[in-house]
Amino acid sequence: MRILLGIACVAAAAAAAPARADEDQLYLDGAGRYADLVALTEKEFASGIERGAARLGWLCIAYGKVKQYTNALKCADELDARIARGDTTMNGRYFGIEYRSDARPVPDMVRADAFVELGRYAEAVKAGERALEWAGKDNPDATWSQWPPKRFRVLILGTLVIASSLQGDRERASKFLQEIEDTSIPYVGAPIVMLNKRNSLARAYLALGQYDKALENLEGTATASLGLGILNALSSYGARGDSLADQTEVPRLLMRAKALLELGRLDEAKAELDRILGNPRIRDMGDLYWLAQFARGRIAEQEKDAARAAALYAGAVEVIEQQRATINSEASKIGFVGDKQAVYERLIALLVEQQRLPEAFDYVERSKARALVDLLASKKDFAAEGADPQKTRQILAQLDAADLASRGGTAAGDAAAGGTRSLDGVRQEMRQAAPELSSLVTVTSTPGEELKSLIGENESLVEYYYQGNDLYAFVLGRDRLAAAKLDAKGLADAVQAFRSSLQELGSERWREDARALHARLWQPLEGSIGTTRVIVVAHGVLHYLPFAALLGADGKLAIERYSFRSLPSASVLKYLKPQVAKKDGLLLALGNPDLDDARLDLKFAEDEAKAVAGLFPESRLLLRRDASESNLKKAGGVFSRIHFATHGRFQADEPLSSGLYLAKDAENDGLLTVGELYAMRLDTDLVTLSACETGLGKVANGDDVVGLTRGFLYAGARSIVASLWSVDDKATAMLMESFYGSLAQQSKQEALRSAQLKTREAFPHPFFWAAFQLTGRAD
């Protein structure tokens, strides 16, 4: 009854709605007219009106709503400065009523929303919690109605639920959800605040998978939205060509359809989705468009209409791949916290079932490309071979601008007319100016027929795809493409158990684990491989697996039958640098850098670096303080081989911050990060990372390893040898000496295999020799 009274009040107030000339920031915010709010406020500031909190707070909120994230974050900083000087009040009129509100929660509220949409979830949680401290406190310098801060509070809590869910912290998300439930709504302003609360609860329950409660709150928003629909209709909302249904009803219908689908009410969900997909504006609402297609495809799949499902999934992928970064914008606003890799997963599964193997293989590559592009989306500084650095930065800036314009529902022609170049045009220029860089910032894949020609003679490529409950392996050769569906049940636990058993140096337990993994991952493919040289493209948890140590049913190790090299994706074959004239004597060895902590000293690593340097007459040896990041950056481009004998840092939550520890000085902090490598250029035939866990990178859903190996490949290294775990120093020194000693007579791939087999003679347990793997070129 209270909600209905609130709607009646809104309807009555709407009858006395002010003329358009009297509309101010608060009014436009309440009406959801954020583009108008931005235009009005920017015009006022340009005319000389003071940039005070009264208007600035609403402008910051509006910038975020129209997806101008850079402006939103700058505005939040400016508002913080005003608040620090005592300017803490936002004001405005709403249907003749004067409201004054505390601006103090707004800067961090705006940051939290922006960070969620930019995929920076940890920062979003921190900002949201800071904002929450102010949303509800009284401002002693202002007398204002209680509904604006209450509104801020439920909005902030809703954002915190989503950010925590996207981080995988369901416990924290549930705590914030309960705080929304416990927030009482005052009578003044009840319709708008109640709608905000209902929406926050609906998307929170949706994010946490409590679909029945999400549906219950969605029914409540329908009632509250009726009152706001009257309000907006009478405020000339449609005069700008916007449709209230497009802005509020489509997201609500999609939330409802999602809840119905997950509750098994397929007919109702199907009706809602068909209604959404029939809306002509849905194509301009990218995040919502792919979500609707994906959900409708799931229903088609359950109805055994595989062709329709595959077409819908492919349509969703096309929308997903239009973006440089997976910004969650509308998806996160309505509580969709699943990742976009699930679309690729279902499409690939259907294509394999239908034996459309070339298409399935192509989507596997596109899936991995999408994951890599997402991971690198925050980077602005890339080095591009043969491209002008200034032009590269300019194209990247244009790409981001066009991307954001497209997210705002701006048609390509409108974007161009407004000074923002079309997304397709910028992409095309990027492909022509810097094709390898283009593969990092846009989703691209290399056609299967081209990849076949890049595979060596007597060589096969084995690519795994591991997502959700599905595990597929593709075998690509110069004249064939085969695929198999493998047993995915408990795979992560099985790989972890194998790695754990490899640490038990006095035990043979590893044999049982190695044999079981061989039976499920390798044996089903042997009939299709048919070669002794193999390229392995791992995926997910398989990046942690030393394939050379798998044990066949006959008791022979995989390394006894095969020589291996690895790649982060098959498409990388296209970008591997060809070998140039050999400069065999030019090796740079960095060993046991001084890290200001005696516990981190690596005595055998220092001996290893000395031994390796001694194999090459024109080598340069850098130890302790000389083994610095600065010296590497100054001299690294001169040497054809670089050997690191040092500690590495693996940071799963921030993979671009993973790196190698070197000595620090006044110029550099001593950590050579993955992110830095993408801005470096090397002309290096071989990089060896003889360090702790340097081959590892973040393993995320659908993601390939974006670790130091991938960074060094982009920087210009042709091949990388890296370890999968912290290896015994003495065994490593022996292996490395043998490896380098064989390079004059053998390829890098065969030299590593020979060194591993030789080390095995002295140290039979795989722990001592199986950690190292070659990535990149074999020669």
Share of the chain above pLDDT 70, in %: 80
For residue range 111-168, list pLDDT tens digits in order.
Answer: 999 998 877 889 999 999 999 998 865 444 444 444 456 778 888 999 999 899 888 8
**Helix spans in 47-189 (H):** 53-65, 69-84, 106-117, 121-134, 147-167, 170-182
Residue 286 vs residue 716, higher pLDDT: 716
Q: Is the dihedral of CA 493, 496, 500, 502 positive or negative?
A: positive
- Domain locations in the chain as residue ranges: 2-242, 243-445, 466-574, 576-776
Distance CA 677, CA 632 (A): 12
The reply to whether domains 2-242 and 576-776 share a CATH topology is no
Chain-centroid distance of CA 316 in Å reads 18
Within 10 angstroms of residue 147's Cβ, the number of other Cβ atoms is: 22
Q: Is the dihedral of CA 565, 568, 571, 573 positive or negative?
A: negative
- Residue in the block written with tokens 């798998």: 550
For residue range 337-387, list pLDDT tens digits in order.
Answer: 556 888 999 999 999 999 999 999 999 999 988 877 777 766 667 777 666
Distance CA 514, CA 498 (A): 7
Q: Please check the confidence at residue 771 and state whether its pLDDT lies above 60.
A: yes
Q: Please check the confidence at residue 460 and state whether its pLDDT lies above 80.
A: yes
- Domain 2-242's class? mainly alpha
Q: What are phi and psi of 620, to 5 degrees?
A: -125, 130
Q: Please check the confidence at residue 200 and state whether its pLDDT lies above 90.
A: no
CB-CB contact of 662 with 628 (8 Å): yes
User: 576-776 adopts what CATH topology?
Assistant: Rossmann fold (3.40.50)
Distance CA 565, CA 718 (A): 12
pLDDT of residue 232: 41
For residue range 461-501, list pLDDT tens digits in order.
Answer: 999 998 878 899 999 999 999 999 999 999 989 999 999 99
- Residue in the block written with tokens 């799949």: 301
For residue range 273-320, list pLDDT tens digits in order.
Answer: 999 999 887 887 767 889 999 999 999 999 999 999 999 999 999 988
pTM of the predicted protein model = 0.82
Collect all residues with Cβ–Cβ distance below 8 Å to 738 and sequence separation of at least 6: 754, 755, 758, 759
CB-CB contact of 343 with 423 (8 Å): no
Question: What confidence category does residue 35 fall into, taking pLDDT thresholds of 50, 70 and 90?
Answer: confident
- Residue in the block written with tokens 């516990």: 599
Collect all residues with Cβ–Cβ distance below 8 Å to 657 and sequence separation of at least 6: 649, 651, 673, 674, 675
Bridge-partner residues for 564, per DSSP? 534
Alpha carbon distances (Å) from 266 to 259, 274, 448, 688: 10, 12, 38, 55
pLDDT of residue 14: 35
Share of the chain above pLDDT 90, in %: 46
CA 656-660-661 angle, to 5 degrees, is: 125
pLDDT of residue 635: 85
**Helix spans in 137-189 (H):** 147-167, 170-182
